[in-house]
Structure 1
Amino acid sequence: MKVVVGGSSGLIGVALVRRLQSDGHDVLRLVRHARTAPDEVEWDPVRGSIDAEALEGVIAVVHLGGASIAAQRWDVVYKQTIRDSRVNSTRLLSETLAGLQSKPSVFLCASALGFYGDRKDEIITENMPQGRGFLADVSAEWEAATAPASDAGIRVCNMRIGVVLSKDGDLPRRMLAPFKMGLGGKLGNGNQYMSWVHIDDVLGGFMHALDRPSLEGPVNLSVPNAVTNREFTRALARAVKRPAMFRVPKLALRIAMGEAAQFATGSTRMYPLKLSQSGYQFQWEDIYLALRDILSD
């Protein structure tokens, strides 16, 4: 199967391209530089340009692009970057796919748990409405940008991805040092839910969605049993064999991170109803075992 991947240089993109290729698929990568390899397709979402001819006849398209929400404080300029890098690139790709003579059968586009906002301990399935806040608004626009493809008869899945645990991800690097020194602890009161997912299951979820014609629309991609920050803290402390006695007050997080602190203090308890009903089996559901795996050498 010929698959086009946007965002192929990111955490998920690199791993997904490798997985697709190992499974025997023919992968084309959307790149923002001049084409230097046979598997590259040029595009420039900022200028609104893309080599549409190179996309004719592909079977599936996966788009994972978007500026990191944890890379820096959210000033006005960076918030616009977060929004535009997702919405504009998705709209360009979606409109291009809709206009092809030979359209793909499926378009999987990344979205995020941020769509739901802070929902305390409410169990969230795909039929729940949009929440409040900047990330919820961006996620809603992001998903709406796939409408041209859907309207053209292409099966679209908006993959609402949870917090990804990976050896190559930001989360272990940012949290590991204080925990290894015995200075780790819960964020705020620790009661906020964290909908996490191991990178193996991110890849598994995408591969599953590619092969399941019944899957369409929003798809929650996180483990069935979300954990509280308190539970995550205990599991991480156990994984590094250090105590976690401290507590980071919400005020300190807001001072350090600004508006981006909502990502750490908000509570989203997602449940992957569509994946579960369509037969997907998660490889990693125990937070301690998942952390131990990504922290191993």
Structure 2
Amino acid sequence: MHILLTGGTGLIGSALTARLLSLGHSLTVLTRNPDAARRRLGGEVALLPALDDVSTLDGFDAVINLAGEPIADKRWTDAQKARLCHSRWQITQRLAELITRSATPPAVFISGSAVGYYGDQGEAVVSEEETPHDEFTHRLCARWEALAREAASERTRVCLLRTGVVLSADGGALAKMMPIFRLGLGGTLGSGRQYVPWIHLDDMVNAILYLLATPGLSGPFNMTAPYPVHNEQFTSALGEALNRPTLLRTPAFAIRLLMGESSVLVLGGQRAIPKRLEEAGFGFRYFELEEALRDVVSVSRRSSA
């Protein structure tokens, strides 16, 4: 396949790039910084500086859209909310336009989303059919998905990745948490009863490849492991994996003071399950959080040795 990838230098994109190349696919990565992308991704990928440089996507067999401003890196001011939305909406809209304009469009458009689509769901089990709560994360993801769906046709199927917390030592939330936990300063956030929908990076990449290679699949997919856990369980498991105590607890009011509205990302949660992926026959490598964390920690130790 000849694949166009956005967000190729991010956590998921970098790992996906390596797998796609190992499988013999031809890859073009959209990037605003070709020099940095070349250093990170190597010389086997073609680089596209801007979508304005193409008028159609004829010649591409698939498009995978992972681009977007990190959602948890900054406090949610009005300006930051606008950046979070526009960094996702604009590129997705442009890709959909190019696909629909193509004489021979890509057969599949795989586009990012997040479990934030559902809002804070408390204890409810969340499959892809769950009714969402009207919160900022839902509005962001709902528009993001709607723009991607505009590319759907008899010739192009659209898959939407409602992604949970991706576990890796190379980036994302866990990479930020591990140094704190290694110092023995990690602990439960708020009540600790909020659910953490997690997925190992290897399963995330494998699931994208499965969607890419399975022609009958389209629509939203929860990209989460089958067994989400409470925050207090996640905290305890990470402490055990690192052989560190997790006795501290950060109260909810302190988190709200620090993070403002974005505190919902850690004080809320979704008990999201990958119903449609499992029904489609996808097999997870990491079902249990403890095994996934042990693997991530061991990789981290080998890379720092």
Q: Calculate the TM-score normalised by the size of structure 1.
A: 0.94
Poorly superposed stretches of 4+, deviation over 6 Å: 34-38
The match for 2:50 is 43
**Cα distance in 2, alignment partners of residues 33 and 186 from structure 1:** 38
User: Aligned runs of 1:1-297 on 2, under 5 Å?
Assistant: 1-33=1-33, 39-43=46-50, 49-53=52-56, 55-151=57-153, 153-296=155-298, 297=301
Identical aligned residues as a percent: 37
Render the CA deviation track for 1:73-100: whole Å, top value 9, x for unaligned: 1111111000000011100111111101
Render the CA deviation track for 1:93-116: whole Å, top value 9, x for unaligned: 111111011111100001000000
Deviation at 1:260, TM superposition (A): 1.2
**Cα distance in 2, alignment partners of residues 19 and 245 from structure 1:** 39
Q: Is this contact kept in 2: 1:215–1:274, CA < 8 A?
A: no
Amino acid at match of 2:253: L
| Structure 1 residues 179 and 201: CA distance shift in structure 2, 3 A | same
**Cα distance in 1, alignment partners of residues 175 and 275 from structure 2:** 31
Q: Is this contact kept in 1: 2:114–2:164, CA < 8 A?
A: yes
Deviation at 1:292, TM superposition (A): 1.6
**Cα distance in 2, alignment partners of residues 224 and 96 from structure 1:** 35
Q: Calculate the TM-score normalised by the size of structure 2.
A: 0.91
**Cα distance in 1, alignment partners of residues 141 and 174 from structure 2:** 25
Deviation at 1:152, TM superposition (A): 6.5
Equivalent position SS for 1:247: strand
Equivalent position SS for 2:90: helix
Q: Is this contact kept in 2: 1:98–1:152, CA < 8 A?
A: no
Amino acid at match of 2:219: G
Deviation at 1:178, TM superposition (A): 2.9
**Cα distance in 2, alignment partners of residues 153 and 84 from structure 1:** 27
Deviation at 1:130, TM superposition (A): 2.5
**Cα distance in 2, alignment partners of residues 41 and 19 from structure 1:** 20
| Structure 1 residues 280 and 34: CA distance shift in structure 2, 3 A | closer
Deviation at 1:50, TM superposition (A): 4.3
Q: Is this contact kept in 2: 1:118–1:132, CA < 8 A?
A: no
Deviation at 1:242, TM superposition (A): 1.4
Q: Which runs of 5+ in 1 are unaligned?
A: none
**Cα distance in 2, alignment partners of residues 147 and 242 from structure 1:** 45
**Cα distance in 2, alignment partners of residues 226 and 34 from structure 1:** 37
Deviation at 1:131, TM superposition (A): 2.1
Q: Is this contact kept in 1: 2:11–2:172, CA < 8 A?
A: no
Render the CA deviation track for 1:103-158: whole Å, top value 9, x for unaligned: 11100001000000000111111112232211111000000111321146410001
Q: Is this contact kept in 2: 1:172–1:295, CA < 8 A?
A: no
Instruction: Give the paired residue count.
Output: 292
Between 34-43 and 4-13, the greater mean CA deviation after superposition? 34-43
Q: Is this contact kept in 2: 1:116–1:136, CA < 8 A?
A: yes
**Cα distance in 2, alignment partners of residues 170 and 19 from structure 1:** 19
**Cα distance in 1, alignment partners of residues 234 and 161 from structure 2:** 23
**Cα distance in 1, alignment partners of residues 151 and 15 from structure 2:** 25
Root-mean-square deviation (CA, aligned residues, Å) is 1.7
**Cα distance in 2, alignment partners of residues 150 and 223 from structure 1:** 27
